[in-house]
Amino acid sequence: MKVKVKLNDKNINRIQREAQIALEQTGDAILTDIISAQVIPFDTGYLQNDTTHVDTSKSSKGTIDIVSTAEYAATVYFHPEWNFQTVNNPNAKGLWFEDWINGAKKNFAKTTFVTLYRRLLGGVK
């Protein structure tokens, strides 16, 4: 038995391109959801609004990062025992990504990616 396989490079490239776009959009959706949940400590808004963003520079390799470039971000993040003011963000806390990593929203990234990817591919199930 002889089998000949011919790959459709055009379709493979489209699938890869749409996966990258869905990944980048998933990063944006996660950050939007985190901001909507009002969990990032917020005094002036600098940490949340000015220095936290989605880094898509490695999305072609299947990776995106949500980063905070504020010099104090790590210090604030890794001290959940601190009492953060809650005037601007009533749910402000340290370890604010944990709900999306191991908590109630741990499936958010996966389900969002699948939804976006299917939409981009035209409703493929």
How confident is the model over 58-116, as pLDDT tens digits?
999 999 999 999 999 999 999 999 999 999 999 999 999 999 999 999 999 999 999 99
The pLDDT value given to residue 84: 95
The pLDDT value given to residue 68: 96
Q: Is 40's pLDDT higher than 80?
A: yes
The pLDDT value given to residue 83: 94
User: Can you read off the two tokens belonging to residue 106?
Assistant: 């741990």
Q: Is 49's pLDDT higher than 60?
A: yes
The pLDDT value given to residue 112: 98
Q: Is 124's pLDDT higher than 70?
A: no
Q: Is 123's pLDDT higher than 70?
A: no
The pLDDT value given to residue 2: 93
